[in-house]
Amino acid sequence: MVEGSSTNRRWSVRLAAVAAVAATVCVVVASTVAPGVATAARSPSARARRGAAARTPVALQHTARHPAIASRGGPGAFPDRGNWGVGAPGAGVCNPLGGQQCMLPFPSDYYTIPDRSMPSGRRIDFPMAAMPANAGGVHIDPAAWNGNDGFSPGSTILVSVPNLDIASSRIVGSGAIAASLEPNSPIVLLDATTMTRLPYWAEPDVRDANPATRLLMIHPAANLPEGHHIIVALRNLVTTAGTAPPPPSTFATVSSGRTLPGTSGARVTRHLNGVLARLSRAGVPSNGLYLAWDFTVISTQSLTGRLLSMRNQAFSRLGSGVPPFTVTQVNNFTVAQNAQIARQVVGTFEVPSFLNRPGGPMGSTLNLGPNGLPQQLPGNEQTAVFACLIPRSVDANPAASGQKVVRGQPVLYGKGLFSTAQEMDISGVLASAYRYHLLQCSTNALGLDGNDVGYDAGLVQNFSNFATVPDRLQQAILDNLFLGRLMSSPAGLSESTSFRANGGKGPSLIDTARPLTYYGNSQGSLVGGAITAVSTQIRRAVLGVPSMNYSILLPRSVDFTSFYSILDSSYPSPSEQQLGFVLIQMLWDRGETDGYVEQLTSHPLPGTPSHQVLLQMAFGDHQVSNVTTEIEARTIGAVVHTPELVPGRTSGDPFFGLVAAPRSRPYSAPGSLFVWDDPQIDVPPAGDVPPTAGPDPHDVIPRSVPEAQHQLVHFLRTGVVLNVCGPRPCVTHLRLTG
């Protein structure tokens, strides 16, 4: 998720801070569409699916996933679930369905209570005593979680099945998702709101060497529909001994028709009987079941309401104007210094801060009002940093007079993990800016920028304070929106002499007549999807080496390897590590694409236009996992260039559910995916571990590929996707190192 050769050098220095934290961790006690252009949705070739039934995206159709049909009391509404779980009188803090960790299986509505003030009708109710404890015995403080009205739409479902034999149980991985919808599939993922089976893939936690404690991790193939009620069922499983695993005792009692003892037991019995009845209606009988339970997905309002409120408040005050800004530094480069970039302009701009500390330093969280929405402390402003690059193709020498000027198209650029606004020194990005006259500006991703690495390493010691990361990221998203206004308005940066030709006396170098667009790579794609989803100005975005959902990404990224030494000391149990990832994703959603992907393209958020998104993926990426890109593409209903890969590069069909894009002509679609490959790249390993063999394509492919550059610029300018690969997979032959 980091970028560029010089950026990688800075990244190495910053990782020293992580190592320093790790070295001190022994016992951790932490404190607090154009003419002649095809429309993919209407094109017969776009509807063609390879493998027919294996490609049928019945449960992935976005119109069937929109929150408007997720209302309580609809035709698929579950009978009154009541206060049957941990919040009921006399209930235990641990999930009675069992597992080697108190909260398993997870997520579970055992940890919700009825709340009619919440859009989903329920609210999270985690008791501190149930939350994982670090090596110092400090339990995670659940306060930040207990305001949610459900679980993450990108939740990895965790369940304990001791000594499970994955192969003998016929549990499918990411290359065989179609089989997850077969009538006798061993795992059933049921949307109980619509009574629709949902596709998934599953895997064991290979980081746990003990088969008796190793968790089974179930990943929805696309994000779960927000506000919906989900049932999970496991059946006909086989252990390594060749026998059926004994069901947890609580579930065995209820599924056999008996009632659990006591008042609390009676409540659990009634609820589980409702789950079993709903499964029976879906054609899943009780015989052979190992376990079944249910949970509620967070509503769109609960998930996105905070950031939308921040946006609406801030822009209401700004009106049609621009935020105040100051240019603090201008760097003019000679051709010998930089053959592609003539000038870098650095400055600051003012944004209303919704964080609870003046200026929003590390450790800040959102300042929530009585209505649960962010509010600005009187006079609290965020002084955000911006950096812009003026390529020589726009003005070869902005400091000199008499130069030919070709105004640059304004592009808001999203940068990599733990980098700062000034660090846009990625060769492929600079080359495309020069070749296509792109004037790119960036600001810091608060919470995950180059200043945060040491602080964030400390958060791994105790997840209680993790809310500061997504909260500051939401402020950073607002900062990006304000920077976009500065870039695109004739009264913004365009007025500054630093952005004018002929030594500041000539015409503006920013073509404000062109629409503002977004281009982000790596971390810039993880946050960029959220920026795009809430933007009223950006209509098109290219997400390079894209990803979302840190809970799936982190174990699969080489960038997180240095943090594992801290995590292993703080939370040594693999099951608690996985639970910790899924827990923090419930908060992280509000600051990254995973929390906004359902509204990213065709079904926008209130007061927001629709958007088009082009995903450019690098096969075998060491830093952002391909499986997260595939989940993102399925969730937005993207069309995909086929064939995706050269035969033999991957087993099965990891692109299940994606409609084939037209190959014979340009097309327009809400979402598109192109997979770029190089024969030098090793096939990524199976399991929740990062690729490490061979060169890493992350910094080079596809951003340094001329055809990919041409495609992204044409898309940003027109919304039309060019098939730059013809009838073949997108394969490059670049010089890679690794």
Classify strands 381-391 and 409-414 as parallel, antiparallel or unpaired.
unpaired
Does the pLDDT value for residue 47 go beyond 50? no
- CA-based end-to-end distance of the chain: 15
Instruction: Tell me which residue of 702, 678, 681 sits closest to 693, measured CA to CA.
Output: 681
Instruction: Output the CA torsion sign for 567, 579, 155, 467.
Output: negative
Distances (CA, A) of 572 to 101, 137, 447: 13, 12, 25
CA pair distance 634, 180, nearest whole angstrom: 15
Check residue 3 and give its pLDDT. Answer: 55
**Tokens read off for 662:** 């037209």
pLDDT reading at 23 higher than 80: no
Asked if the bond preceding 105 is cis, omega within 30° of 0, the reply is yes
Query: pLDDT tens for residues 415-428?
Result: 887 677 777 777 78
Q: 3-class DSSP state for residue 434?
A: helix
Q: Could you give the CA distance from residue 262 to residue 273 in angstroms, rounded to a whole number?
A: 16
Question: Cβ contacts of residue 313 below 8 Å, gap of 6+?
Answer: 352, 354, 374, 375, 376
Measured CA to CA, the distance from residue 353 to residue 351 in angstroms comes to 6
Q: Region 359-372: what's the mean pLDDT?
A: 95
pLDDT of 25 higher than 70: no
Does pLDDT of 44 surpass 90?
A: no
Instruction: Quote the CA–CA distance of 317 and 331 in Å, as a whole number.
Output: 33
3-state secondary structure of 436: helix
Residue type, position 694, single letter: G
Higher pLDDT, 24 or 167: 167
What pLDDT, on a 0 to 100 scale, did the predictor assign at position 270?
96
Tens digit of pLDDT for each residue in 317-331?
A: 999 999 999 999 999
Percent of the chain at pLDDT exceeding 70:
88
SS3 278: helix
- 421, 415 in Cβ contact below 8 A? yes
- Residues pairing with 331 in the sheet: 344
Q: Residue 50 above 60 pLDDT?
A: no
Burial of 660 (0-12, 13-18, 19+ CB in 10 A): buried
Q: Are 389 and 421 in contact (CB under 8 A)?
A: no
pLDDT digits (tens, 9 = 90+) for 211-239: 999 999 999 999 999 999 999 999 999 99
Residues 669-694: pLDDT tens digits? Answer: 999 999 999 999 999 999 999 999 99
CB-based burial label for 241 (10 Å; 0-12, 13-18, 19+): exposed
Do β-strands 187-191 and 229-235 pair in parallel, antiparallel, or remain unpaired?
A: antiparallel
Confidence of residue 299 (pLDDT cuts 50, 70, 90): very high
* Contact (Cβ atoms closer than 8 angstroms) between residue 601 and residue 671: yes
**Global pTM?**
0.92
Q: Is 82 left (phi over 0), alpha (psi -120 to 50) or beta?
A: left
| Beta-bridge mates of residue 26 | none
One-letter amino acid at 463 equals F
> Which pLDDT band holds residue 49 (cuts at 50, 70, 90)?
very low
Average pLDDT of 403-417? 91
Question: Regarding beta strands 122-124 and 112-114, do their DSSP bridges make them parallel or antiparallel, or are they unpaired?
Answer: antiparallel
Q: Which of 443, 474, 446, 495 is nearest to 321 (CA)?
A: 495
Query: What is the rounded average pLDDT for all residues in the chain?
Result: 89
CA-CA distances (angstroms) from residue 38 to 91, 142, 674, 711, 722? 58, 50, 17, 16, 11
DSSP conformation class of 366 = B
Please report which residue ranges of 411-467 form alpha helices under DSSP H. 427-436, 453-459
Count the helix, strand and coil residues of the chain and give each as a percent rounded to the nearest 5: 30, 20, 50
Helix (H, G, I), strand (E, B) or coil at 187: strand
pLDDT, position 38: 53
pLDDT at 260 > cutoff 50: yes
Q: Which helix (H) or strand (E) holds 707?
A: helix 706-718
Q: Which helix (H) or strand (E) holds 216?
A: strand 215-220
Report pLDDT for 73: 33
The pLDDT value recorded for residue 280 is 97
Distance CA 425, CA 655 (A): 33
Among the listed residues 444, 310, 313, 319, the one whose alpha carbon sits nearest the alpha carbon of residue 384: 444
Amino acid 465 reads: N
Position 281 scores a pLDDT of 96
Helix axes 523-534, 468-488, angle to 10 degrees: 70
User: Contact, 232 vs 157, CB < 8 A?
Assistant: yes
Question: Could you check whether the bond before residue 643 is cis, i.e. omega within 30 degrees of 0?
Answer: yes
Ramachandran region, residue 552 (left: φ > 0; alpha: ψ -120 to 50; beta: rest): alpha
In angstroms, the CA 596 to CA 114 distance is 25
pLDDT for 421 equals 77
* Angle subtended at Cα 420 by Cα 417 and Cα 422, rounded to the nearest 5 degrees: 135
Q: Which of 411, 377, 371 is nearest to 394 (CA)?
A: 411
Rg (CA), the chain: 25
User: Strand ranges (DSSP E) for 88-207?
Assistant: 112-114, 122-124, 157-160, 187-191, 196-197, 200-204
pLDDT, residue 450, reads 83
Return the higher-pLDDT residue of 634 and 51.
Answer: 634
- Predicted local confidence at residue 397, as pLDDT: 83
- Per-residue pLDDT band for 403 (boundaries 50, 70, 90) equals confident
Burial degree of 115 (CB within 10 A; 0-12, 13-18, 19+): middle
How far apart are alpha carbons 170 and 298 in whole angstroms?
Answer: 30
In the block, tokens 């590069």 appear at 649
693-730 pLDDT tens trace: 999 999 999 999 999 999 999 999 999 999 999 999 99
Element holding 295 (H helix, E strand): strand 289-296
On the question of pLDDT at 53 being above 70, the answer is: no
Supply the DSSP string of 132-156, one letter for each residue. Answer: -B-TTSPBPPGGGTTT-SSB-TTPP
Q: What is the mean pLDDT of residues 60-73?
A: 31
| DSSP β-bridge partners for residue 612 | 540
Statement: residue 39 has pLDDT above 70: no
What is the average pLDDT across 341-362? 96
Q: What interhelical angle do 574-588 and 468-488 show, nearest 10? A: 40
Question: Which tokens in the block code for residue 555?
Answer: 């174990």
The tokens describing 259, both together, are 């009632």
Q: What is the number of H-type helices and E-type strands within the chain? A: 15, 23
Contacts of 469 (CB under 8 A, 6+ apart): 447, 448, 456, 459, 587, 588, 591
The contacts of residue 105 (CB under 8 Å, 6+ apart) are: 95, 97, 99, 157, 158, 159, 160, 232, 291, 293
Q: What is the pLDDT of residue 80?
A: 52
CA nearest neighbour of 510 among 397, 402, 414, 388: 388
- Poorest-confidence range of 15-19, 197-201, 315-319, 326-330? 15-19
Higher pLDDT, 98 or 80: 98
